[in-house]
Amino acid sequence: MYSPTRRTFIRQAACAALTTTGILNTIFDLRRLSAAPINTGDYKALVCLFLFGGNDANNVIVPHDNSGYASYAAARGILAIPQASLLPLTLPNGDGRDFGFHPNMAELQALFNQGKLGLVSNVGTLVAPITRAQYLAGGAAVPAQLFSHADQSVQWQTSVPDQISKTGWGGRMADVMQSLNAGSKISLSISIAGTNTFEVGNTVLPYTVTPDGSIGLSGFDGSANANVRLQAFKDLLALPHNNLFEQAYSDTVSRSIAANELLTSALAGIPPMQTVFPGTSLGKQLNMIAKLIAARTNLGMQRQIFFCSVGGYDTHGDQLAGQANLLTELSQGLNAFYSATNELGVAQQVTSFTASDFGRTFPTNGSGSDHGWGSHQFVLGGAVQGGRLFGTFPTLAVNGPDDTGQGRWIPTTSVDEFSATLATWFGVSASDLPTVLPNIGRFAHPNIGIFG
């Protein structure tokens, strides 16, 4: 069973192996971007929220009409959400479908019905389009280690399911967009959730901060004596070093100190946020992202990519209670973040989206659900054509046309298509799209219509 505590420990232990917190930041790069700036005055930010463990989206959005709900309840058994508690969605006239959100998602229901939130149906990792018949016959290419947490979460972040990739699609996107931030001393990509593959590029690597801000050297409190010691340390670092390792260490720590000072100063220069964020782990991460967006001018940013995450979505047991709490955290956190972008006047320029390892099986295993494949993901922002379901919603039937045979939906929209749509909105050109998403040419819809 997936353990968020173990995952968090492993992710943080890799960083803790370094002996100073200053090095931690700059291992993920603090590059001065030297390319010539593009003449543009626009600003955009993309926020990836990863739900580690595999969110059971079958209980996120549920058929609300009597016949659809009856089939859903029969298959889900103990996991079925009571029909009367579902939060109804207002879909476009003529859509002909009737769905409701999980009862713990009142804030997201309101954003959906206000046209600010959309849902991408049945999206997942794919090597190429595949049908149920092809899957059952065998021989057709499918993602490696299809139902594995570690493999599928990485494939979501790389959008390369058929080979090992050292970079993520967010990082490759940052590589082609970095000239927009020319002169900035802070990476275009910032993680609030430790190390990740999504933001790793070939030249741009993520800068890691905490929900409380950047990570600086301990023992320097700003007092007169501490400042003297800090300056002496900087002077030592600035000395020439004949040993290559010593020089690399010196350069890394120097950049880390400078970046911490810059980011601390930039955040101190913004007015207090009026938006109240929940005190949850996600709420604190999104609060810091909002502050970093508020400091964009001080940091010289035209483009920013953020990564945050929540664990605990591997609901093999006690799913009803566990997922309810997680969806409350998700709904309240995203609602506060969208309110903050409105407060900052950048709601049209900030898009947030969810991702997760995979979906989960439609039938229950007794008190939870097991690893699946295709799932539904949220996309939120002022530029989103919200109040809609994008892609093709699966037929919710075991052994139906979208099922592998065990209640695992075969994706009808690829991660590539979802990502390409987001990348295009972010400003990636059609000619650069294959660099960011090498497999996009295998799919028919590089733009699934999320944005107007």
pLDDT value for 288: 98
Statement: residue 21 has pLDDT above 90: no
- Note the pLDDT of residue 445: 97
Q: Which of 34-38, 263-267, 355-359, 428-432 has the lowest mean pLDDT?
A: 34-38
Kind and range of the H or E run holding 49 = strand 44-51
Lowest mean pLDDT among 12-16, 108-112, 266-270, 406-410: 12-16
CA 367, 371, 374 angle in degrees (round to 5)?
120
- pLDDT at site 122: 98
pLDDT at 17: 31
Positive or negative, the CA dihedral 367, 368, 369, 370 is: negative
* Cα 336 to Cα 265, 285, 333, 451, distances in angstroms: 25, 11, 5, 22
CA atoms within 13 A on the CB side of 206: 25
How many other β-carbons are positioned within 10 Å of the β-carbon of residue 429?
12
Q: Is the pLDDT of residue 90 over 50?
A: yes
Residues 174, 306: Cα–Cα separation, whole Å = 11
Q: Residue 355 above 70 pLDDT?
A: yes
**Once rounded to an integer, what is the mean pLDDT over residues 409-432?**
98
7, pLDDT greater than 60: no
Distant-in-sequence contacts of 318-321, Cβ < 8 A, 24+ apart: 318/367, 318/368, 319/56, 319/59, 319/79, 319/364, 319/367, 319/368, 319/369, 320/78, 320/79
How big is the CA angle at 109 (ends 108 and 110), to the nearest 5 degrees?
A: 90
Instruction: Give the chain's domains with CATH numbers.
Output: 4-216+250-442 (3.40.720)
Contact 308, 49 (CB under 8 A): yes
pLDDT, position 216? 85
Q: What is the pLDDT of residues 247-289, one digit of tens each?
A: 999 988 988 888 899 999 999 999 999 999 999 999 999 999 9
Share the mean pLDDT of the chain.
91
Report the distance separating Cα 14 and Cα 10, nearest Å: 6
Least confident of 21-35, 226-240, 241-255, 328-342: 21-35
Indicate if the alpha-carbon torsion angle 293, 295, 296, 297 is positive or negative: positive
- pLDDT above 80 (res 10): no
Higher per-residue pLDDT: 93 or 209 = 209
pLDDT for 252 equals: 85
Rounded to the nearest 5 degrees, what angle is found at the Cα of 197, between the Cα atoms of 330 and 35?
A: 110
Region for 115 from its dihedrals, namely left if φ exceeds 0, alpha if ψ lies in -120 to 50, beta otherwise: left
Q: What is the pLDDT of residue 222?
A: 82
Contacts of 408 (CB under 8 A, 6+ apart): 147, 359, 361, 362, 371, 372, 373, 374
Of the pLDDT bands very low, low, confident and very high (cuts 50, 70, 90), residue 41 is: low
In the predicted structure, residue 37 carries a pLDDT above the cut 50:
no
